[in-house]
Amino acid sequence: MDLQQSRAEQPMPALNWRAMRESDLDGVVLVAQKSFPDHPEERACFANRLDLNPNGCFVLADDQDTVKGYLVSYPWMRNMAPALNVLIDAIPADADSYYLHDLAIDPDVRGGGHTRTVIEKLAEQVKADGWPRVSLVAVNNATGFWNRNGFEVQNPEGMAEKLASYGDDARYMERPLV
C-alpha cells in the first residue's frame, strides 16, 4: 500500500477554529516553520501579536487540542506592512485597516476547506467592528489563493521597497468590507 492510499483511508481528525491561547504558541511556531520556512518568525513575535490583539488570533485545533493551523491579525495602517519577525510596541492609534499578519495550515491537514471558514469569520468580525478593509502581504506565490478569498493586489506608492524583506513574489493585497 502506498502512502497516498494509506492517507486516503485514514479519516481526517475533527478540526475546529477557536481563540488562540498562550499555551498554543509552541504549536503555532511548529505550523509556521512548516508553512513558511523562508519567512521565519520567532515565538516572541506570535506572543507579541497575541498580547496586542487576542481577539484577532485563532488556532485550528484537533480533538486532542493539537494546533493544526492559525490566523494572526490586528488593526494596522493601510498601505503599510510590519517588518517580519519584529516586535511591535502597540497598535497604531490611527490604524485605518485590519491587517491579516499570517494564516497557515499544517500541510498534513490542508485541503479541508478550513481557511475559508476562518477568513470569512474574520471578515464578519472586523466588518462588525467598523473596519473598512482587511489587508495582507501574500507570499509563497499565494496571490491566486487570496484572490479567491476576495483580496485584490494593490500597488501603493513605495510599497515595493517595503515588501523587499518578504521575497520577490510578495504582493500587498486588500479586501474591502464595506
Residues 108-129: pLDDT tens digits? 999 888 999 999 999 999 999 9
pLDDT of residue 9: 53
pTM of the model: 0.90
In sequence order, what DSSP letters do the residues of 40-107 get, joined into one string? ---HHHHHHHHHH-GGGEEEEE-TT--EEEEEEEEEE-TT--PPTT---SS--TT--EEEEEEEEE-G
pLDDT cut 90: percent of the chain above it: 76
For residue 5, give the DSSP letter: H
Q: 165 and 145 in contact (C-beta within 8 Å)? A: no
* Per-residue pLDDT tens digits for 4-37: 544 455 556 689 999 999 999 999 999 999 999 8
CB within 8 A of 43, min separation 6: which ones?
A: 25, 26, 28, 29
Asked if residue 135 lies in contact with residue 82, where contact means CB atoms within 8 angstroms, the answer is no
